[in-house]
Structure 1
Amino acid sequence: MLYTHVAGIDVHKKQVTVTVRTPDPRRPALRREKTRTFRTFYADLLAMGAWLAECGVTRAAMESTGAYWWPVYAALREAGGPDLTIDVVNAAHVKAVPGRKTDVKDAQWLARLLEVGLLRGSFLPPDDIREIRDLTRYQTKLTEERSREKQRLLKVLEAAGIKLDVVASDTFGVSGRAMLDALVAGERDPQVLAGLARGVLRNKTEDLRLALAGRFTAHHGQMIGFHLARLDHLDQMIDQVKEKIGHPGAPGTSRRAATEPAGLLAPFAAQIRLLTSIPGISDRVAAVIVSEIGVDMSRFPSAKHLAAWAGLAPGNNESAGRRHRARHRKGNTHVQSILIEAALSASRTRTRLGARFHRLHRRFGGKANKTAAKKAGFAVAHTLIKVIWTVLATGKPYTDLGHDYYTRRVNPETHTRRLIAQLEALSGKKIVLVDHDNGPYDDDSLGSHHDGEAAA
């Protein structure tokens, strides 16, 4: 018995069921249990918090069921004060009591698990971090919606026989947007539309004329107008969200502050600089990382704990001393997606992370295997999350170990013999090395080899 005055809360949309377990005043060796049901109106939730305080509850536990636990947590925090510890536990980690399942039994089971210390609260960042998290996630949703809207517009162009996306690499660039606006305005002459090209796209005037000669009708123009208006609105919303978050270089920031975060990110400027020192992590990725995991790494005992929490650690499936194939555990999908994106970006750099990606990509099958890049990206994301923990925990920027980190430790002579053996096995010929002083294709040196030999 670790906690004497506990409460288990079963949360639903319309009601919450609360079970309080406290010592029996008449028989201290026994436990007394009370269960009540409250509606989820905020006034009723405050009354629930007052009842828990009246019962002397010092620790309460509830499952993280979607968004329904948010007002319950806020009401308990307001009514219970600092003396009440609230554990929001993962529903997948709490097994229901065997037998008949009811809301009362769920609340009782939570209370019994809590009093003996079998529940562990989930990571809840501070309020300022949660505000940034809401905005960064909303920015991601807006960006995804903008991509979907572009696909809808391209579908209308395809139906109208307009092949602009075949010729122009960016249909929504300056040239593409001018042509789309002209189509909406009623222009149908392919020669006039192709003349709106700017920059290097002018070199494709003939192809543009052919691509813009379709069966574009007034109905298609109306649909394109709706899609363009929607895209403009989404761009405006994304700019407003970026400005509120405080992305460097966002609209509304001065040129002097273009390299420094503002808005809600301003208090975390030092952590943003530390994170952007890691290859593949941009200002946007750093903002998402701060909003999802915070900046206080004391919540995670080690880098491995953070990787497991984010769902970037390998899965474990061992039985009878044998390890079996296992999928990675579920975790924070927002951290997973943004770090895999950062890993693919880091793969294009001449750094230790880039070398690790290419090394793993070859190990997983290379271009012949369609999933090799995905597996390598996930593995590098696992490395990134551990680097992030170290950088934020120590307060020191990232120091790259070099693109040759995995090769400079290799003995050149041993590596040469290994490569020669592989080449001889593939070609069926004997490989002889020739010094550059004599010339790699010196006639005398080549003439000394017997038939069936090759000089390298």
Structure 2
Amino acid sequence: MSKKVIELDALEQINLDAAGIDIGAESIYVAVPPGRDTESVKEFPTFTADLQRTAEWLKKCKISTVAMESTGVLWVPIYEILEHHGFEVFLVNTYHLKNVQGRKTDVLDCQWIQQLHTYGLLKASFRPPEEIVEIRGYVRHRDTLVKYRSAHIQHMQKALNLMNLKLVNVLSDITGVTGMKIIRAIIDGERDPYVLANFRNKLCKKDEEEIAKSLEGYYRPEQVFVLKQSVEQYDFYEKQIQEVDQQLESLYKKYDPPDEDNYKNRKKHKPRKNQAHFDLGDSLYRMAGVDLTKIDGVDALIAQKVLSEIGTDMSKWPTVKHFTSWLKLCPNNKVTGGKVIQTGTQKTKNRATTALRIAAFSLSHNNKSALGSFYRRIKARNGPSEAITATAHKIAKIIYFMLRDKTDYYDLGENYYQEKFREILIKKLHKQAANFGYYLEPYNMAIPLVS
């Protein structure tokens, strides 16, 4: 037998003071080890006073660690209360819990969780520190508001198209300076296309004549009314987003100011749509101690989304491999009988992973950095999907080491990357030639070839 055989010890109880909680909308079931109280399983309502009573009962039973399933958002109140009372709380992924075979009922779920936790068979999900959780809440809410606002932009486009006002054909963004001035003038009653075209910003690529031509339409009162309400909704969500940005700015100010010597060389990115209404790059530098926007493809919004999901403490992941595995950016090979039967990455809804993929995709268009060259090489060999995953994986590794070691990122450029890749290919060719009993010599253009 080629494989090494070792003796397995019997399962031993690791967490002797463990409890399990099954969370529902109206009540929770809590299980403790037998003998800690007259009843080892108790039911509590989900009101705050009853959750406090649950924590007191667990203290009475001398419990030190508690495990629970991540059921929707129902787990958040009891998790925070137990953590406030000093318990070690394990938030367990439901998918991982189902992989452990065992018969359960609705009442005995908590006992099953408690038993698994006693034997150390449950793994806690990552949850960032409280200050990062607060920032994450605002960032996620901001993303929701941006999505709601986008729906009303679509309503505006539909109303314009129904009146055959082809503003979308001459403006790349109807919510830009030129577009919003024209739309607001239409709502106020202006119908002359040349007067409307006069609102054209000097940076607009199309001239006034072409814009005026696109504004010759059939104005219908009901569609103008729809356009008016859509603009009002758009303005409402824009105001909401600005208020969220104010809250975020106040939270970032709690961190120490950045090092001026390093910060003055901070890379400036071209402002893009949905950007924050304050200097987000400065605030993120205060928070992380490094400038993540120096990484090609990572702008302030992407850096904010990543940091709000992972925090700044990389000690939660022992190695960079653990970190990329948590992000589901590493291979998930399925092996049976010593053979790999399936490869690929696992599906995930991790918002940090999504942000890293967006950053990777942004490198596909004429980016002259080393990361851009890496993306294009992988894309030519394996296609765009694999290229995005591989580049996102590389960006994740860079972020991990920047946050862990507090070091800056310096792009060595496309030429450096291509030269290093050329050296790898030459080294591989030398090795292949040696395997066949040959050796390689560089070709000298001055020496003519012998036919």
TM-score when scaled to structure 1?
0.80
Residue 139 of structure 1 and its aligned partner are, at CA, apart by: 1.3
Going from structure 1 to structure 2, the CA distance change for 1:231 and 1:324 (only over 3 Å counts) comes to same
Equivalent position of 1:352 in the other structure: 370
Residue 104 of structure 1 and its aligned partner are, at CA, apart by: 2.0
CA RMSD of the aligned region, Å? 3.0
Q: Which amino acid aligns with 2:341?
A: H
Q: Does 1:113 align with 2:130?
A: no
Residue 22 of structure 1 and its aligned partner are, at CA, apart by: 4.5
Equivalent position of 2:64 in the other structure: 58
Equivalent position of 1:123 in the other structure: 126
Is 2:159–2:224's contact at 8 Å kept on the other side of the alignment? Answer: no
Equivalent position of 1:135 in the other structure: 138
Equivalent position of 2:16 in the other structure: 4
Equivalent position of 1:373 in the other structure: 384
Partner SS for 1:295: coil
Going from structure 1 to structure 2, the CA distance change for 1:331 and 1:304 (only over 3 Å counts) comes to farther
Equivalent position of 1:293 in the other structure: 310
Partner SS for 2:207: helix
Is 2:280–2:300's contact at 8 Å kept on the other side of the alignment? Answer: no
Equivalent position of 2:88 in the other structure: 85
Q: Which amino acid aligns with 2:393?
A: H
Is 1:125–1:293's contact at 8 Å kept on the other side of the alignment? Answer: yes
Going from structure 1 to structure 2, the CA distance change for 1:315 and 1:405 (only over 3 Å counts) comes to farther
Going from structure 1 to structure 2, the CA distance change for 1:205 and 1:400 (only over 3 Å counts) comes to closer
Q: Which amino acid aligns with 1:392?
A: L
Q: Which amino acid aligns with 1:279?
A: D
Residue 98 of structure 1 and its aligned partner are, at CA, apart by: 6.0
Deviations 1:36-94 (CA, angstroms, capped at 9, x unpaired): 1111001111111111111111111000111100111122234xx32x21111111101
Going from structure 1 to structure 2, the CA distance change for 1:259 and 1:325 (only over 3 Å counts) comes to closer
Q: Which amino acid aligns with 1:61?
A: A
Q: Does 1:260 align with 2:263?
A: no
Deviations 1:181-232 (CA, angstroms, capped at 9, x unpaired): 1211122222322233221548533322221111111111111111111111
Q: Does 1:284 align with 2:290?
A: no
Equivalent position of 2:321 in the other structure: 304
Residue 339 of structure 1 and its aligned partner are, at CA, apart by: 0.8
Aligned length: 397
Deviations 1:242-285 (CA, angstroms, capped at 9, x unpaired): 2221289954x6xxx78621xxx6xx616253322322222222
Is 1:312–1:331's contact at 8 Å kept on the other side of the alignment? Answer: no
Q: Greater shift after overlay, 158-167 or 94-103? A: 94-103
Is 2:290–2:406's contact at 8 Å kept on the other side of the alignment? Answer: no
Equivalent position of 2:52 in the other structure: 46
Deviations 1:126-163 (CA, angstroms, capped at 9, x unpaired): 11000000111111111222222211210111111111
Equivalent position of 1:212 in the other structure: 215
Is 1:60–1:85's contact at 8 Å kept on the other side of the alignment? Answer: yes
Residue 314 of structure 1 and its aligned partner are, at CA, apart by: 2.1
- What are the residue-to-residue correspondences of 1:183-198 with 2, within 5 Å? 183-198=186-201
Mind listing any 5+ residue stretches in structure 1 that lack a counterpart? 26-31, 365-371, 418-432, 438-456
- What are the residue-to-residue correspondences of 1:244-255 with 2, within 5 Å? 244-246=247-249, 251=277
Separation of aligned partners in 2, 1:184 and 1:340? 40
Partner SS for 1:171: coil
Aligned-pair identity in percent equals 32
Q: Greater shift after overlay, 318-327 or 48-57? A: 318-327
Going from structure 1 to structure 2, the CA distance change for 1:51 and 1:412 (only over 3 Å counts) comes to closer
Is 1:311–1:332's contact at 8 Å kept on the other side of the alignment? Answer: no
Equivalent position of 2:181 in the other structure: 178
Q: Which amino acid aligns with 1:213?
A: E
- What are the residue-to-residue correspondences of 1:290-439 with 2, within 5 Å? 290-347=307-364, 348-364=366-382, 372-409=383-420, 410=422
Q: Which amino acid aligns with 2:377?
A: R
Equivalent position of 1:454 in the other structure: none
Separation of aligned partners in 2, 1:258 and 1:124? 24
Equivalent position of 2:272 in the other structure: none
Separation of aligned partners in 1, 2:67 and 2:332? 28
Separation of aligned partners in 1, 2:327 and 2:17? 32
Separation of aligned partners in 2, 1:434 and 1:211? 63
Deviations 1:6-60 (CA, angstroms, capped at 9, x unpaired): 21100011110111114689xxxxxx97111111001111111111111111111
Partner SS for 1:318: strand
Is 1:194–1:209's contact at 8 Å kept on the other side of the alignment? Answer: yes
TM-score when scaled to structure 2?
0.80
Partner SS for 1:193: helix
Separation of aligned partners in 2, 1:385 and 1:313? 11
Mind listing any 5+ residue stretches in structure 2 that lack a counterpart? 1-12, 254-274, 430-442, 447-451
Is 2:21–2:110's contact at 8 Å kept on the other side of the alignment? Answer: yes
Is 2:104–2:112's contact at 8 Å kept on the other side of the alignment? Answer: no
Partner SS for 1:104: coil
Going from structure 1 to structure 2, the CA distance change for 1:189 and 1:65 (only over 3 Å counts) comes to same
Separation of aligned partners in 1, 2:170 and 2:306? 37
Partner SS for 2:33: strand
Q: Which amino acid aligns with 1:278?
A: I
Separation of aligned partners in 2, 1:413 and 1:316? 26
Going from structure 1 to structure 2, the CA distance change for 1:317 and 1:170 (only over 3 Å counts) comes to same
